[in-house]
C-alpha cells in the first residue's frame, strides 16, 4: 500500500500502471489484488476518472487529436470499454469556457497550430503548408480536420490584413 500511495503522489494512475509498479517491487499477487481493491474502494484508482483527467490535461497543455489521446490512454492501460464509454462524452460548454479548454477536434487543432506558429504567419508555399499539415497529423488529427484548420487559419490571416 505504501508503494502504491507513493506512486500515486505524483499524478493519477491507471489500475494497470499501479499493478505493473507493484509487480516491479516484487509484491505477491494476493497483496497486489488486495491493494488495488482497497485503492479502488477509496476512489484513488479509477480508470474513467484518469481518462477524463488525461484528456483535459492534453487539451490544456498540449492539444492532441482524439486518436492520439486514445493511443496514449491505451499505452497506460485504460481498457477499451472505458474509451468507448468516454468517446461520445463531451464536457459541458460552460465548463469549457471557464477553463479555456477547446471543445471540438477543430478547436484543438487550431490551438495546436497557433502554439506551433508562435505568432508567425502561415507559409505562402505549398511545401510549408504540407509541413504544417504533417505536424497536425502527427499530433493525431484526422486529415479533414487538418485541411479545415489550415483553410480557416488562412482565411483569418486574409481578414486581418
Question: What average pLDDT does the segment 70-91 reach?
Answer: 85
Examine the domain organization and report whether 110 and 82 are in the same domain: no
Given this model, what pLDDT does residue 99 score? 42
**Where do we find the cell 487550431?**
110
Question: Residue 49: what are its φ and ψ, rounded to 5°?
Answer: -65, -40
Question: What average pLDDT does the segment 85-89 reach?
Answer: 77
Examine the domain organization and report whether 151 and 119 are in the same domain: yes
Examine the domain organization and report whether 95 and 127 are in the same domain: no
> Last residue of a domain, which of 60, 80, 99?
99
Q: Which three cell numbers stand for residue 134?
A: 504533417
The C-alpha angle 20, 41, 55, rounded to 5 degrees, equals 60
Examine the domain organization and report whether 151 and 111 are in the same domain: yes
Pairwise pLDDT comparison (96 vs 134), residue with the higher score: 134
Examine the domain organization and report whether 70 and 91 are in the same domain: yes
**Per-residue confidence at 90, pLDDT binned at 50, 70, 90?**
low
Examine the domain organization and report whether 121 and 137 are in the same domain: yes
In angstroms, rounded to a whole number, what is the distance separating the alpha carbons of residues 23 and 112?
37
Question: What average pLDDT does the segment 79-87 reach?
Answer: 88
Given this model, what pLDDT does residue 92 score? 35
For the cut 60, the answer to whether the pLDDT of residue 160 exceeds it is no
For the cut 80, the answer to whether the pLDDT of residue 32 exceeds it is yes
Given this model, what pLDDT does residue 98 score? 39
Question: What average pLDDT does the segment 100-114 reach?
Answer: 82
Distance of CA 126 to the CA centre of its chain: 30
Task: Indicate the number of domains in the chain.
Answer: 3
Examine the domain organization and report whether 95 and 135 are in the same domain: no
Examine the domain organization and report whether 37 and 51 are in the same domain: no
Task: Tell me if the pTM is above 0.85.
Answer: no
Domain that includes residue 38, residue range: 2-42
Examine the domain organization and report whether 30 and 54 are in the same domain: no
Amino acid at each position: 500500500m505504501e508503494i502504491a500511495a507513493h506512486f500515486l503522489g505524483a499524478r493519477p494512475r491507471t489500475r494497470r500502471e499501479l499493478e505493473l509498479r507493484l509487480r516491479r517491487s516484487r509484491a505477491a499477487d494476493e497483496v497486489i489484488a488486495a491493494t488495488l481493491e482497497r485503492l479502488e474502494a477509496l476512489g484513488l484508482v479509477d480508470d474513467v476518472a484518469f481518462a477524463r483527467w488525461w484528456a483535459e490535461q492534453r487539451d490544456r497543455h498540449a492539444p492532441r487529436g482524439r486518436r492520439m489521446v486514445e493511443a496514449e490512454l491505451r499505452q497506460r492501460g485504460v481498457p477499451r470499454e472505458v474509451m468507448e464509454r468516454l468517446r461520445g462524452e463531451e464536457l459541458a460548454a460552460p465548463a469549457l469556457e471557464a477553463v479555456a479548454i477547446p471543445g471540438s477536434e477543430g478547436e484543438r487543432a487550431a490551438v495546436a497550430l497557433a502554439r506551433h506558429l508562435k505568432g508567425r504567419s502561415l507559409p505562402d508555399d505549398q511545401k510549408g503548408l504540407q509541413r504544417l499539415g504533417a505536424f497536425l497529423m502527427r499530433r493525431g488529427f484526422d486529415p479533414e480536420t487538418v485541411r479545415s484548420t489550415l483553410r480557416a487559419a488562412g482565411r483569418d490571416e486574409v481578414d486581418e490584413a
